[in-house]
Structure 1
Amino acid sequence: MKFWDSFLTWLKIKKKEANILIVGLDNSGKSTVVQYFQSGGKRTEVTVPTIGFKVEKFQNAGLTLTAFDMSGQSKYRSLWERYYSDCHGVIFVIDSSDTMRMAVASNELLLMIQHPEMVKNRSTTTTGVPILILANKSDLQVAIPIGQIRAELGLDEINTHPIHLEASNALTGVGLHAGLEWLSDQIIKLNF
């Protein structure tokens, strides 16, 4: 069946589809990231915090992405793991100006990376699910420098997942396209 799916995709009869999770602490900018991609870069004035999760679709690099925008409030974070088994990639959004909760974001990232569903055999590789980390609000004067974020999240010690850290601003789109291109390439390389 895998051969047949690959053959149809190669003939462009079957479209490449992937599920991505968009996670991170509350108020990090997850919904704003989704709105940016879904609207084609048009700015939305009002962003309502996500309760539970929302599902949105958008296109990138020949992929149809189904994005599960998960709430980052502490009482909803346990829902994230219910979607790990079917995800092809993760966008982990952090608020790079929130110095007080960087340790909490680091802990949530570590819990996610260590979950068995995130490192299971994917296609023909044993690589874990690719993770794009968006250091959102990086344009603010109080934002933590990207090198310090890399160190605080311990990204250099993680070797079980392809990981990319990108400075971003979800309101203007800075860093979003480059990050999504990286994630799309990883998803295609590992799954199709």
Structure 2
Amino acid sequence: MELSLMGLQNAGKTALINAVDNVGYSEDLDPTIGFHMREVTKRNVILKLRDGSGQSGFRSFWEGFCRDNPAKVYVVDAADVDNLFISKKELHKLLSKTSLNGIPLLVLGNKMDEPGALSKDAFTEEMGLQLLSDREVCCFMISCKNYTNIDQVFDWLLSKLKN
């Protein structure tokens, strides 16, 4: 299964790949510049995970980056309330692309272990997820640092592979 991870810089996309791959958490990850692909094997499933840069200059490439995926994965720093509006705007801009119509969406509120992180209800409201009726939308609050809900994320992704 090939999946692309999108989201603003410092949301935790690379940390999520590390968590799925069980390689451990690091506070000292360098920002992704451009796009990186890593193959991860988990429960006899090979995932090709593409980590896309979240800096503003790279966001215009997100559409092509995730067009042929069975699901879109959007990672958000749920503790960075100052950037939630930008993250919401970028997500909804991406979802407006006709080439991505109907593709299931997985939104991950990362860093739920951090002080000030939003609850799932507040996060869903702030990101406008309740407004999305043209596709299946799933949301998990996760912590890549503590591996919270990482297995549930993987199970959801597997369900998309089987469909």
Is residue 2:106 matched to residue 1:132? yes
Is residue 2:59 matched to residue 1:83? no
Equivalence for 2:3: 20
Is residue 2:27 matched to residue 1:53? no
- SS across alignment from 1:179: helix
Task: Determine which of 145, 148, 151 is the counterpart of 1:174.
Answer: 148
Question: What runs of 5+ residues in structure 1 fail to find an aligned partner?
Answer: 1-17, 120-127
Equivalence for 1:148: 122
Distance 1:104 1:44 in 2: 25
Is residue 2:95 matched to residue 1:92? no
Q: Following TM superposition, by how much is the alpha carbon of 1:109 offset from its aligned partner in structure 2, in angstroms?
A: 1.0
AA aligned to 2:3 is I
Structure 1 length normalisation: TM-score? 0.78
AA aligned to 1:185 is S
Q: Following TM superposition, by how much is the alpha carbon of 1:77 offset from its aligned partner in structure 2, in angstroms?
A: 0.8
Task: Assess, with a 3 A threshold, how the Cα gap between structure 1 residues 60 and 129 changes in structure 2: closer, same or farther.
Answer: farther
1:127-181: CA deviation from partner (whole Å, max 9, x where unpaired): x222211110111121112101101111122122211111111112101111221
Distance 2:104 2:92 in 1: 14
- The structure with the largest alpha-carbon Rg is 1
Question: What runs of 5+ residues in structure 2 fail to find an aligned partner?
Answer: none
Task: Assess, with a 3 A threshold, how the Cα gap between structure 1 residues 21 and 53 changes in structure 2: closer, same or farther.
Answer: same
Distance 1:118 1:47 in 2: 30
Does the aligned pair in 2 maintain the 1:130–1:187 contact within 8 Å?
no
Distance 2:105 2:49 in 1: 14
**Fraction of identical pairs, as percent:** 25
Work out the number of aligned pairs and report it. Answer: 163
